[in-house]
């Protein structure tokens, strides 16, 4: 709870730092809002025109680009929304819009503050020319209307007279100006300024301002918008943009369809001739060979040939396997103890038995060696001999089998030759007939396919339907810029932010004590109280009968001083500060006056022997004082006591002559004697010392004071000097140190008003 209250207190203190400059915030807000009002008064309003464009789904039907061959994957294309956005925002497309709408010529009425662009029906004339060449770019002319039929052209300060409908010849080009229907001359007609621009440059400007974005990720719909000072112009640009985009898309589609039809017609002519030739070949072949139904004969002979061929292939496989085994067995020289693979598809019992026996002996030999038999063991030698004999038998058997298979293969090939002769008459004719017929069917299918695609392409060319549809026609609204509420709100924020920033930088750069909280953070020294700012300029403000806020504060300090002793009696008070000008003498006089008002006799000792101000502030004539007494020039201390004039019970002993060695005088033995004698005469002694932040004089008087007061002045004392107070408190360099905050204002404490 305490931390929460402390945090709230810090926030309030921080707010007070800024609120004390409330007039700067008010001035900043007024100036900023005033500038915003002037800006809104003369700023050119911007209007927004928007529309939505739907891209039809090409898969849903209808013809599109390459639709004639859409079933061929390599020729199949589809539109991308991202690509179409780039097309719509392209400079080339916008240039065509600008040229067709003649927006490369602008008409302006000059005003005192800003010019007003005229557009459409608001322009009473029209300039007719073939095209704008680079010689026109950047040219400006003024039209001064003299009557319904006559006008002057002003260029570079020179005026020439012309008539509507007649050709005007200028150094940069030739054109004709005609009046629109409904144009009437008036004496109030202001000159019309005509400006000629590069169409491409104007197109770039509008293309950059054009916004094209998908409505959402699920729909193929684009939202298109454009801002411009003239709402009708923005709307016309969007309408023309849709028109030019559709026209370009249809032209691209028609160009593809035309090329497709042309290609198909060429191919159809060529295929028609080829198809006629193939059909003639079929007819001639059938007549020449006198063929009717050769399927049955061809199938029988062909089956026999296939069977023979299959047997030959099986023999070839067996020969290949035998060759591989033969190569493997012969290659075992130097590696005689490897196993021989099985004969796979060779159905020879002798060979299989030999290989099986050979592999068994190999395994038997391997087992004996593993059980410890050496290679020169008789049993191993015997197995080696048997393996060598069986290997020779295997090789001989392989040769015999291969020779038998070769003989069988030659017989089958001879038999196949006889069957081949039989097929020379019938099967060969049928095969040739099938090849001719197959070619005929292929060319016929291609011909029908191209004929169908030709009709589809012709239909697409005739239809010329756009692939897009405008959902909402372009609609202008606004003005959308500048937004009055936003401008005023932003200007108000800026008007408040600038003083806030200035105040923040001021607080950041200042090193003066501005609040009580800063003192509490910097030192643990207790704060006795505060003294408010005195506007009167008087030295004595705590008179007995005064009831001002500052006098009440001194009475409060007097009471707090009594309670700070914890029940002990306080008879003497030492007053010091960090630097000169913090109000030590002012405090001494008024706290002394306040204490004297209670009936006590009070004496102020001006021990600031370096820059004494106490006597002069009370307009008391200077005379011998403490220095003179301590060095022995004045034997009687009573002679240097002066009446303060502030209260009858308040006396003062001034500093006297300024010594060259104040620190040594403080250590004079007569100082202690002085205090002993004065305590017998006075009830309360106040010691006004030099600033402890500059010299150590005050520390020498520590033992003569019951309590020490350290004066800190708001907006005067450096924050760094608060470390001096903390050092004094931590090391007890002064007796019972307490802080009094001087010159408090409402900006420092929030409130210091006392009253009844």
CB 577 within 8 A of CB 694: no
Residue 64 pLDDT greater than 60, yes or no? no
CB 742 within 8 A of CB 531: yes
CB 529 within 8 A of CB 730: no
Report which of residues 9 and 392 the model is more confident about.
Answer: 392
Confidence of residue 493 (pLDDT cuts 50, 70, 90): very high
The least confident of 108-112, 347-351, 367-371, 681-685 is 347-351
Q: Most confidently modeled of 170-179, 276-285, 450-459? A: 170-179
Report which of residues 568 and 683 the model is more confident about.
Answer: 683
What pLDDT score does 66 carry? 46
What pLDDT score does 61 carry? 40
What pLDDT score does 581 carry? 86
What pLDDT score does 669 carry? 84
Residues 6 or more apart whose CB falls under 8 angstroms from that of 668 comprise: 630, 631
3-state secondary structure of 78: coil
DSSP element (H, E) containing 126? strand 125-128
pLDDT digits (tens, 9 = 90+) for 575-604: 999 888 888 889 999 999 989 988 899 999
Q: Most confidently modeled of 25-39, 183-197, 289-303, 322-336? A: 25-39
What pLDDT score does 579 carry? 87
**Tokens standing for residue 416:** 């196949």
What pLDDT score does 285 carry? 65
What pLDDT score does 465 carry? 64
Q: Give the C-alpha separation, 192 to 126, whole Å.
A: 12
CA dihedral 644, 647, 648, 652 (to 10 degrees): -30
What pLDDT score does 352 carry? 75
Confidence of residue 751 (pLDDT cuts 50, 70, 90): very low
The least confident of 20-34, 320-334, 350-364 is 320-334
Report which of residues 170 and 653 the model is more confident about.
Answer: 653
Among 224, 226, 209, smallest CA distance to 47 is for 226
pLDDT digits (tens, 9 = 90+) for 414-425: 766 666 665 555
Q: Give the C-alpha separation, 224 to 88, whole Å.
A: 9
What pLDDT score does 753 carry? 43
Among 381, 380, 93, smallest CA distance to 212 is for 93
State the helix-helix crossing angle for 378-423 and 295-330, rounded to 10 degrees: 160
Q: How many residues does the chain have?
A: 756
Q: Give the C-alpha separation, 468 to 462, whole Å.
A: 17
Among 708, 741, 698, smallest CA distance to 564 is for 708
Confidence of residue 247 (pLDDT cuts 50, 70, 90): confident
Report which of residues 572 and 147 the model is more confident about.
Answer: 572
What pLDDT score does 267 carry? 74
For residue 420, how many C-alpha atoms fall within 13 Å in the half-sphere facing its CB? 8
DSSP element (H, E) containing 669? helix 669-681
Q: Give the C-alpha separation, 142 to 155, whole Å.
A: 7
Q: Give the C-alpha separation, 430 to 629, whole Å.
A: 155
pLDDT digits (tens, 9 = 90+) for 661-691: 888 888 888 888 889 999 999 999 999 998 9
Confidence of residue 442 (pLDDT cuts 50, 70, 90): confident
Report which of residues 297 and 78 the model is more confident about.
Answer: 297
Concatenated DSSP letters of 316-375: HHHHHHHHHHHHHHHTTTT-TTSPPPP-TT---HHHHHHHHHHHHHHHHHHHHHHTT--T
Q: Most confidently modeled of 283-292, 361-370, 433-442, 725-734? A: 725-734
The residue ranges of DSSP E strands in 421-535, in sequence order, are 468-481, 527-532
Residue-averaged pLDDT of the chain = 80
Q: Give the C-alpha separation, 356 to 362, whole Å.
A: 10
CB 547 within 8 A of CB 534: no
For residue 478, how many C-alpha atoms fall within 13 Å in the half-sphere facing its CB? 24
Confidence of residue 287 (pLDDT cuts 50, 70, 90): low
CB 223 within 8 A of CB 476: no
Residue 82 pLDDT greater than 50, yes or no? yes
pLDDT digits (tens, 9 = 90+) for 234-245: 999 999 998 999
**Tokens standing for residue 676:** 């002993």
Residues of the chain with pLDDT > 90, as a percent, come to 15
3-state secondary structure of 608: coil
Residue 52 pLDDT greater than 70, yes or no? yes
The least confident of 334-338, 369-373, 558-562 is 334-338
3-state secondary structure of 157: coil
3-state secondary structure of 620: coil
What pLDDT score does 73 carry? 41
Confidence of residue 309 (pLDDT cuts 50, 70, 90): confident
Among 706, 684, 539, smallest CA distance to 599 is for 684
The least confident of 61-75, 176-190, 251-265, 362-376 is 61-75
The least confident of 60-64, 180-184, 404-408, 687-691 is 60-64
What pLDDT score does 418 carry? 63
For residue 151, how many C-alpha atoms fall within 13 Å in the half-sphere facing its CB? 29
Q: How far apart are the first and last CA of the chain?
A: 32
Among 169, 104, 91, 168, smallest CA distance to 131 is for 104
The least confident of 123-127, 380-384, 606-610, 710-714 is 380-384
What pLDDT score does 60 carry? 40
DSSP element (H, E) containing 687? strand 684-689
pLDDT digits (tens, 9 = 90+) for 526-554: 999 999 888 887 888 887 677 788 888 98
Q: Kindly report the backbone phi and psi dihedral angles of residue 641, in degrees, each rounded to the nearest multiple of 5, phi listed first.
A: -85, 135
Burial class (CB in 10 A: 0-12, 13-18, 19+), 587: buried
Residue 382 pLDDT greater than 50, yes or no? yes
Burial class (CB in 10 A: 0-12, 13-18, 19+), 137: middle
């Amino acid at each position: 709870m305490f931390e929460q209250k402390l945090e709230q207190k810090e926030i309030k203190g921080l707010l007070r730092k800024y609120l004390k400059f409330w007039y700067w915030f008010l001035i900043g807000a007024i100036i900023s809002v005033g500038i915003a009002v002037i800006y809104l008064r003369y700023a050119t309003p911007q209007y927004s025109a928007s529309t939505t464009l739907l891209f039809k789904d090409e898969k849903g039907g209808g013809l599109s680009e390459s639709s004639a061959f859409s079933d061929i994957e390599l020729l199949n294309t589809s539109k991308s929304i991202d690509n179409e956005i780039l097309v719509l925002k392209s400079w080339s497309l916008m240039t065509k819009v600008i040229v067709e709408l003649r927006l490369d010529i602008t008409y302006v009425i000059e005003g005192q503050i800003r010019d007003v662009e005229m557009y459409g029906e608001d322009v009473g004339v029209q300039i007719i020319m073939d095209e704008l060449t680079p010689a026109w770019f950047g040219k400006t002319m003024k039209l001064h209307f003299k009557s319904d039929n006559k006008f002057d052209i002003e260029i570079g300060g020179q005026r020439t007279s012309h008539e509507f409908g007649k050709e005007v010849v200028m150094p940069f080009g030739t054109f004709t100006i005609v009046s629109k229907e409904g144009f009437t001359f008036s004496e109030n007609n202001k000159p019309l300024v005509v400006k000629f621009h590069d169409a491409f440059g104007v197109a770039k400007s509008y293309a950059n301002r054009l916004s094209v974005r998908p409505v959402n990720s699920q729909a193929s719909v684009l939202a298109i918008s454009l801002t411009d000072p003239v709402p009708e112009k923005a709307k016309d640009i969007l309408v023309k943009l849709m028109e030019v985009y559709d026209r370009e898309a249809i032209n691209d589609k028609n160009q593809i369809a035309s090329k497709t039809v042309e290609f198909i017609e060429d191919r159809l002519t060529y295929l028609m001739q080829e198809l006629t030739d193939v059909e003639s070949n079929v007819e001639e072949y059938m007549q020449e060979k006198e063929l009717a139904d050769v399927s049955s004969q061809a199938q029988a002979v062909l089956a026999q040939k296939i069977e023979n061929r299959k047997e030959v292939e099986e023999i070839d496989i067996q020969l290949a396997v035998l060759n591989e085994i033969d190569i493997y067995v012969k290659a075992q020289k130097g590696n005689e103890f490897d196993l021989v693979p099985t004969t796979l598809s060779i159905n020879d019992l002798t060979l299989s038995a030999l290989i099986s026996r050979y592999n068994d002996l190999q395994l038997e030999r391997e087992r004996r060696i593993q059980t410890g038999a050496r290679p020169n063991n008789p049993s191993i030698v015997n197995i080696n001999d048997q393996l060598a004999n069986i290997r020779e038998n295997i090789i001989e058997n392989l040769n015999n089998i291969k020779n038998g298979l070769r003989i069988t293969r030659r017989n089958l090939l001879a038999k196949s030759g006889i069957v081949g002769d039989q097929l020379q008459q019938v099967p060969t004719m049928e095969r040739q007939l099938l090849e001719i017929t197959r070619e005929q069917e292929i060319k016929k299918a291609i011909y029908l396919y191209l004929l169908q695609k030709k009709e589809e392409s012709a239909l697409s060319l005739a239809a010329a339907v756009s692939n897009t549809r405008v959902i909402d026609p372009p609609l202008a609204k606004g003005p959308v810029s500048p937004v009055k509420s936003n401008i005023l709100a932003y200007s108000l924020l800026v008007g408040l932010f600038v003083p806030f920033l200035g105040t923040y930088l001021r607080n950041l750069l200042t090193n003066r004590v501005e609040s009580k909280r800063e003192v509490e953070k910097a030192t643990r020294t207790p704060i006795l109280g505060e003294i408010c700012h005195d506007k009167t300029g008087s030295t004595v403000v705590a008179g007995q009968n005064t009831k001002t806020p500052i006098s009440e504060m001194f009475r409060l300090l007097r009471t707090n001083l009594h309670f700070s002793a914890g029940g002990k009696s306080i008879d003497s008070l030492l007053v010091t500060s960090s630097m000169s000008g913090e109000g030590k003498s002012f405090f001494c006089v008024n706290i002394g006056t306040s204490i004297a008002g209670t009936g006590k006799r009070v004496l102020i000792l001006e021990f600031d022997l370096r820059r004494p101000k106490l006597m002069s502030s009370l307009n008391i004539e200077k005379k011998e004082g403490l220095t003179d007494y301590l060095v022995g020039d004045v034997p009687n201390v009573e002679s240097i006591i002066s009446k303060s004039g502030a209260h009858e019970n308040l006396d003062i002993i001034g500093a006297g002559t300024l010594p060259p060695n104040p620190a040594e005088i403080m250590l004079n033995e007569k100082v202690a004697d002085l205090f002993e004698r004065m305590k017998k005469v006075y009830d309360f002694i106040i010691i006004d010392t030099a600033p402890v932040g500059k010299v150590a004089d005050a520390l020498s008087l520590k033992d003569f004071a019951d309590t020490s007061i350290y004066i800190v002045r708001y907006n005067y004392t450096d924050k760094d000097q608060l470390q001096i107070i903390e050092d004094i408190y931590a090391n007890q360099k002064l007796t019972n140190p307490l802080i009094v905050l001087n010159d408090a204002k409402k900006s420092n404490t929030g409130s210091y008003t006392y009253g009844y």
